[in-house]
Structure 1
């Protein structure tokens, strides 16, 4: 049902923004789309939210679960941009560690 899906998506994004790795794992296990773009918060993905908040463990988990770090928000602001702008070195290291091909920008 559409209402339940909307709530699930909000909870998934909230878990990312709070660094709730157990909540993220549960949501993905229940079928959450790791790359869902939330148009209500500037076109952000959960990964971008975790990067901005500085939750390096949540970032590492989302990357392991297949989240795409190259997806930017509606302004083109990417995960790496967000982590750098917010001064989140642990997140930058997590992004770089997951980027074996040097593609994250």
Structure 2
């Protein structure tokens, strides 16, 4: 009888350890034996002249320039960052000068 209770307690303890390990692995992003690692995105620099042109059109307002690029990116997710800069510049010119 004591051996049965001891066996059940060992089984219960092993189960608790297993569940605890599983919860920790889930919390750190391990799933089905594979570690879920986000690929390192290479930060492709936009042409500095393009950045400077946008900043000039924004009157030196960095926050405005970032918002315009983010807005272009939000509506054109498949496009490159450089394209988003060009779009922001084109939109500013269109809205200001009607070209």
Using structure 1 for the length normalisation, give the TM-score.
0.21
Using CA pairs under 8 Å that are at least 6 residues apart, name the structure with larger relative contact order, 1 or 2. Answer: 1
Larger Rg: 2
Using structure 2 for the length normalisation, give the TM-score.
0.22
More helix by share: 2
More strand by share: 2
